[in-house]
């Protein structure tokens, strides 16, 4: 199975979804969830959230119906914090800040941020330069809308490296990875992290200053605003 098991709880699993794999089946090709179910035939598994096909990283799968319902409630109550790494080639309009706006359908299967804020997508980010023309971003979405982070990066003038839809620089993959989860589960706080193995992400990790390593090693420890 290409998707690595990262964390096991009696009520759920956390896997590392491989980049380039759809969550659902597509044209006869088994997607992430079908592959997981095939690998655990003795269990009844339930999806609780998704990642884009081109995004790698941490994803939760519930192991029973009660857990699925509870985890969905946690997402709605913002009791599951998600943190992503991204790499982009253009210098942003600002090194850190918030990105907020309604999501509106655009061309080429993409989305864009609209000025109205009836139901906004909300994201906060930090970034630092890598010294080779790239910047490393830590992204925290406060909502979970389709292509939210990719649209957010495009809106600050720094589309993600390898993002063909949002005019990022050409690359061998989309440089977006779900790196950390902080789950407030019953009476526990469960923290799961997985740094991506890809060389360019490793360079970002190696080049980080002591201050920046704080958000690499414990992103939830930063002073995140309440959006």
Q: How much of the chain exceeds pLDDT 70, in percent?
A: 96
pLDDT of res. 82: 97
Question: Mean per-residue pLDDT for 201-222?
Answer: 78
pLDDT > 90? residue 21: yes
Q: Report angle CA 122, 51, 109 to the nearest 5 degrees.
A: 75
- Whether 11 has a pLDDT exceeding 90, the answer reads yes
Burial class (CB in 10 A: 0-12, 13-18, 19+), 59: buried
As beta bridge partners, residue 12 has 62
* pLDDT at residue number 149: 96
Q: What percent of the chain has pLDDT over 90?
A: 64
User: What pLDDT score does 206 carry?
Assistant: 73
> Which two tokens mark 120?
């906004």
For the chain, the C-alpha Rg in angstroms (whole number) is 17
Angstrom distance (rounded) from CA 192 to CA 182: 7
Would you call 109 exposed, middle or buried from its count of C-beta atoms within 10 A (0-12, 13-18, 19+)?
exposed
| Averaged pLDDT of the chain | 90
What is the distance between the alpha carbons of residues 161 and 135, in angstroms, rounded to a whole number? 10
What lies within 8 Å, CB to CB, of 173 at 6+ separation is 19, 20, 54, 162, 198
Q: At residue 1, does pLDDT exceed 70?
A: no
Q: 12, 47 in Cβ contact below 8 A? A: no
CA distance 18 to 31: 11
Q: Which CA distances in Å does 223 have to 125, 142, 219?
A: 11, 14, 9
Over residues 121-126, the mean pLDDT reads 93
Residue 194 and residue 219: Cα distance in Å, rounded?
A: 12
pTM reported for the whole predicted model: 0.92
Q: Residue 217: pLDDT band by 50, 70, 90 thresholds?
A: confident
Residue 130 token pair:
């890598």
Spatial distance between the Cα atoms of 136 and 86, rounded to a whole number of angstroms: 6
pLDDT at 91: 77
- As annotated, the active-site residues are 52
What number of CA atoms fall less than 13 Å from residue 178's CA on the CB side?
27
SS3 140: strand
Per-residue buried b or exposed e for 83-106, using 16+ beta carbons within 10 Å of the residue's own CB: bbbbbbbbebeeeeeebbbbbeee
The 10s digit of each residue's pLDDT in 60-82 is 999 999 999 999 999 999 999 99
pLDDT (tens digit per residue) in 129-168: 877 788 889 999 999 898 999 999 999 999 999 999 999 9
Q: Give the pLDDT confidence of 78-113 residue by residue, as tens digits.
A: 999 999 999 998 778 788 899 998 888 887 778 888
Mean of pLDDT values over 182-202: 90
In terms of DSSP bridges, do strands 176-185 and 56-62 run parallel, antiparallel, or are they unpaired? parallel
């Amino acid at each position: 199975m290409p998707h690595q098991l990262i964390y096991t709880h009696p009520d759920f699993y956390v896997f590392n979804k491989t980049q380039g794999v759809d969550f659902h089946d597509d044209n006869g090709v088994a997607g992430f969830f079908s592959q997981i179910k095939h690998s655990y035939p003795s269990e009844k598994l339930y999806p609780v959230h998704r990642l884009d096909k081109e995004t790698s990283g941490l994803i939760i799968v519930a192991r029973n119906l009660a857990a699925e319902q509870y985890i969905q409630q946690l997402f709605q109550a913002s009791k599951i914090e998600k943190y992503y790494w991204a790499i982009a080639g253009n210098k942003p309009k600002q090194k850190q800040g918030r990105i907020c706006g309604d999501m509106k359908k655009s061309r080429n299967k993409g989305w864009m941020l609209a000025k109205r804020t009836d139901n906004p997508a909300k994201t906060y980010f930090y970034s630092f330069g890598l010294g080779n023309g790239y910047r490393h971003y830590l992204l925290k979405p406060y909502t979970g809308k389709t292509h939210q982070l990719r649209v957010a990066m495009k809106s600050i003038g720094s589309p993600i490296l390898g993002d063909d839809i949002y005019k990022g620089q050409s690359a061998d993959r989309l440089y977006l990875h779900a790196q950390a989860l902080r789950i407030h589960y019953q009476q526990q706080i469960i923290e799961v992290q997985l740094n991506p193995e890809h060389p360019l992400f490793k360079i970002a990790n190696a080049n980080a200053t002591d201050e920046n390593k704080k958000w690499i090693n414990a992103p939830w420890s930063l002073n995140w605003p309440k959006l």
